Amino acid sequence: MALLQISEPGQSLDPHQRRVAVGIDLGTTHSLVAAVRHGVAECLPAGDGRVILPSVVRYLDPALGGSGRQIGFDALAAQVQDPANTVSSVKRLMGRSRDQVVDVDKLAYTVVEQDGMAVVETVAGRKTPMEVSAEILATLRFRAEDSFDDELYGAVITVPAYFDDAQRQATKDAAQLAGINVLRLINEPTAAAIAYGLDNGSEGVYAIYDLGGGTFDISILRLTRGVFEVMATGGDSALGGDDYDQALAAWVLAQQGVNALLNASERAAVHAEARRLKEALSSSGSETFRASVAGQTFEQSVTPSDFEACTAALTARTMTAVRKVLRDAGITKDEVKGVVMVGGSTRMPVVRRTVGEFFGQEPLTNLNPDEVVALGAAIQANALAGNSKDGDLLLLDVIPLSLGIETMGGLVERIVPRNSSIPTALAQDFTTYQDGQTALALHVVQGERDLVADCRSLARFELRGIPPMVAGAARIRVTFTVDADGLLSVSAKEQGSGVEARVDVKPAYGLSDEQIAAMLQDSFATAQQDMQARALVEARVDADRMIAATRTALAADADLLEADERLNIDTLIESLSQSLGSTEAATIEAATTALAKGTEAFAAMRMNRGIQKALAGKKLEEV
């Protein structure tokens, strides 16, 4: 099914009014900015033609004057000489306290705790991870504004699928510091899937294998009706291209019989050479490693199979994580419809081959693996800014928790199920409970539980002016409409008279991801209990209805009954009333059934009387 399309009111697609909207991949190692130009997503280059910006910021001693910092390649080049003030991999600190940062002591700069937050100690003072990220984001923002010679309208920024609320909030704060309007944060694997246009393709399960510089992420996404749901994520936050460099360097040094400890600059030089060689080997037959250690210069030739042999354990570790995430998602590898390769390290032929053999299919590699996340974000940004042409489908969010209405007895009737894509509009018909009921109290709730008391109350409103009718005759259509921003409005309309009432509510926004997770957890744990509670409430409502209907009938037509028949019915009503105190739905249901059976004959007599009344005084041909 195609998703509903959004075009913002009054935002027609006059090329002169086009809004500059970009996608930003704020990576651990590299960051990129991309935009849709002439209908095609492309990464925007810096003045020197390079699209990649190393995610590195170097802070300079303020006493020396000058601009105060270097960003990107300049900072990267200075890292060897000034490691203590050169902040790389700052993404690992985002939204974390110091003790939450993996291997924090291995970082070449000093991380301290401040207000529950990991911050970096530099020669220019303490810098929060948001400030450091903001330098990178601002650089990309200026690059985009220079490319388009226009102000930036907004950006879609990508985050790892496993990022929690604090990490996402930190990313948003960084963007705000950089003066960027965040159109949306989207998950990196989802962005990669969008870049490949999978959202326009066939529904099913996709695996996104992302091997970057310092991290490995594997995500299983399920595409339904144009929306991706993250089924499971996994990986290894301390496994990436850097480890391949190290493994190669160690192998070369061992071949050369070097076992002396290297000093910092030798180590940096060997590492840089290893990286150069690794990258070159991805597209060539054999390479020569050149370095000097302790005044001795050496050369070592390395073939692709040497490289594969000395890094085999690393590739194997990624596959262990792949198998685990498939188990977590509860699927087999044969159920995976497509595999998307993301991250610079998936350029290594051995990685592509291993992944391809495991899944039994060629992984998708025709887009640049280090650009694919930014490209997907750009496509999404373009659509959110209202730039995409009519007919373009827009990938949207899903509703995190079900939305529903309170019905008789404090039960929830779910109208919009959880994970429905938005925008959406869904309706259900309800009716009145009492004869002559002229108003209806509507209570809108959110949650997965069956009882209103266990869900979150969103809004209450009333529908008044329903014409008096017998119970059950009114047709009240309740419509839930959720717009693209997740704004919910609920309307209730009595179909016969047309009376209508509505209310606007904002769902989900007040809930943190943890609260959502807790509510879902709750609903799984208590599903059984809920079913029993629901059955009990339903049994009581049915019993009440049965008793009320029988009393009404007796009031009207009791004269049809013999004394013993009347006594029998009264006894059945009495025992049903007593059963209402039971906590067993089955007991109440049995008593309700008994009353229904015991009044069958009475009901038949009443029907006959009704027909006779209707026919009285009419000629046969009039009937």
Distance of CA 53 to the CA centre of its chain: 27
Gap between the Cα atoms of 169 and 513, Å rounded: 11
Q: Which of residues 396-425 bind Mg ion (CB under 5 A)?
A: none
131, 173, 210, 287: which is the annotated catalytic residue?
210
Beta carbons within 10 angstroms of residue 267's beta carbon: 15
* Residue 235 sits in the site that holds Mg ion (CB under 5 A): no
- In the complex, what is the shortest distance from the CB of residue 247 to Mg ion, in angstroms, rounded to a whole number? 20
Tell which one of 72, 95, 226, 343 touches ligand ADP (CB under 6 A): 343
What length is written for the chain?
Answer: 623
Stretch that binds Mg ion, among 63-71, 210-218, 285-293, 295-303 (CB under 5 A): 210-218
- In the complex, what is the shortest distance from the CB of residue 33 to Mg ion, in angstroms, rounded to a whole number? 14
Judge whether 597 counts as a catalytic residue: no
* Residue 28 sits in the site that holds ligand ADP (CB under 6 A): yes
- In the complex, what is the shortest distance from the CB of residue 158 to Mg ion, in angstroms, rounded to a whole number? 8
Gap between the Cα atoms of 465 and 50, Å rounded: 68
First to last CA, the chain: 50
SS3 579: helix
Residue owning tokens 């005084």: 617
Q: Are 491 and 463 in contact (CB under 8 A)?
A: no
Gap between the Cα atoms of 374 and 158, Å rounded: 8
Q: Are 310 and 247 in contact (CB under 8 A)?
A: yes
Judge whether 91 counts as a catalytic residue: yes
Peptide bond into 83 cis (omega under 30): no
Helix H, strand E, coil C: the string for 125-190 is EEECHHHHHHHHHHHHHHHHHHHHCCCCCEEEEEECCCCCHHHHHHHHHHHHHCCCCEEEEEEHHH
Tell which one of 279, 448, 454, 494 touches ligand ADP (CB under 6 A): 279
Question: In the complex with ligand ADP, which residue's Cβ is closer, 313 or 518?
Answer: 313
* Residue 189 sits in the site that holds Mg ion (CB under 5 A): no
Interacting partner of 493 out of Mg ion, ligand ADP, none (Cβ under 5 to 8 A depending on kind): none
Gap between the Cα atoms of 452 and 405, Å rounded: 9
Q: Are 444 and 371 in contact (CB under 8 A)?
A: no
* Residue 212 sits in the site that holds Mg ion (CB under 5 A): yes
Residues 6+ apart with CB under 8 A from 331: 205, 220, 231
Output DSSP code: residue 398. B
Q: Are 155 and 381 in contact (CB under 8 A)?
A: yes
Residue whose Cβ sits closest to ligand ADP: 241
* Residue 214 sits in the site that holds ligand ADP (CB under 6 A): yes
Judge whether 210 counts as a catalytic residue: yes
Tell which one of 19, 20, 21, 30 touches ligand ADP (CB under 6 A): 30
Stretch that binds ligand ADP, among 337-345, 421-429, 550-558, 607-615 (CB under 6 A): 337-345
| Binding map of ligand ADP across residues 173-212, x = CB under 6 A, - = no contact | ---------------------------------------x
Nearest one of 166, 162, 330 to 236, comparing CA atoms: 162
**Strand pairing category for 56-59 and 86-88:** antiparallel
Residues 6+ apart with CB under 8 A from 439: 462, 463, 464, 465, 466
Stretch that binds ligand ADP, among 239-247, 259-267, 438-446, 583-591 (CB under 6 A): 239-247
Asked whether the CA dihedral 320, 321, 323, 327 is positive or negative, the reply is: positive
Q: What's the number of CA atoms in the CB half-sphere (13 Å) around residue 556? A: 13
Interacting partner of 23 out of ligand ADP, Mg ion, none (Cβ under 5 to 8 A depending on kind): none
Question: In the complex with ligand ADP, which residue's Cβ is closer, 27 or 507?
Answer: 27
Question: In the complex with ligand ADP, which residue's Cβ is closer, 189 or 507?
Answer: 189
Residues 6+ apart with CB under 8 A from 68: 59, 60, 62, 124
* Residue 242 sits in the site that holds ligand ADP (CB under 6 A): yes
* Residue 79 sits in the site that holds ligand ADP (CB under 6 A): no
* Residue 27 sits in the site that holds Mg ion (CB under 5 A): yes
- In the complex, what is the shortest distance from the CB of residue 43 to Mg ion, in angstroms, rounded to a whole number? 13
| Binding map of ligand ADP across residues 366-395, x = CB under 6 A, - = no contact | ----x-------------------------
Output DSSP code: residue 376. H
Peptide bond into 423 cis (omega under 30): yes
- In the complex, what is the shortest distance from the CB of residue 215 to ligand ADP, in angstroms, rounded to a whole number? 6
Interacting partner of 282 out of Mg ion, ligand ADP, none (Cβ under 5 to 8 A depending on kind): ligand ADP
Interacting partner of 449 out of ligand ADP, Mg ion, none (Cβ under 5 to 8 A depending on kind): none
Question: In the complex with ligand ADP, which residue's Cβ is closer, 28 or 233?
Answer: 28
Tell which one of 19, 20, 24, 29 touches ligand ADP (CB under 6 A): 29
- In the complex, what is the shortest distance from the CB of residue 30 to ligand ADP, in angstroms, rounded to a whole number? 4
Stretch that binds ligand ADP, among 157-165, 340-348, 359-367, 528-536 (CB under 6 A): 340-348
* Residue 158 sits in the site that holds ligand ADP (CB under 6 A): no
Stretch that binds ligand ADP, among 24-32, 330-338, 390-398, 426-434 (CB under 6 A): 24-32
Stretch that binds ligand ADP, among 80-88, 131-139, 278-286, 444-452 (CB under 6 A): 278-286
131, 135, 188, 370: which is the annotated catalytic residue?
188
Gap between the Cα atoms of 365 and 370, Å rounded: 11
* Residue 213 sits in the site that holds Mg ion (CB under 5 A): no
Q: Which two tokens mark 605?
A: 């007599």
Stretch that binds ligand ADP, among 26-34, 439-447, 500-508, 518-526 (CB under 6 A): 26-34
Judge whether 514 counts as a catalytic residue: no
Tell which one of 23, 27, 363, 423 touches ligand ADP (CB under 6 A): 27
Q: What single string gives the DSSP state of each residue in 209-263? A: EEE-SS-EEEEEEEEETTEEEEEEEEEETT-SHHHHHHHHHHHHHHHTT--SPPP
Q: Which residues bind ligand ADP (CB under 6 A)?
A: 27-30, 212-215, 240-242, 275, 278-279, 282, 343-345, 347-348, 370
Q: Which residues bind Mg ion (CB under 5 A)?
A: 27, 212
Q: Which residues are catalytic?
A: 25, 91, 188, 210
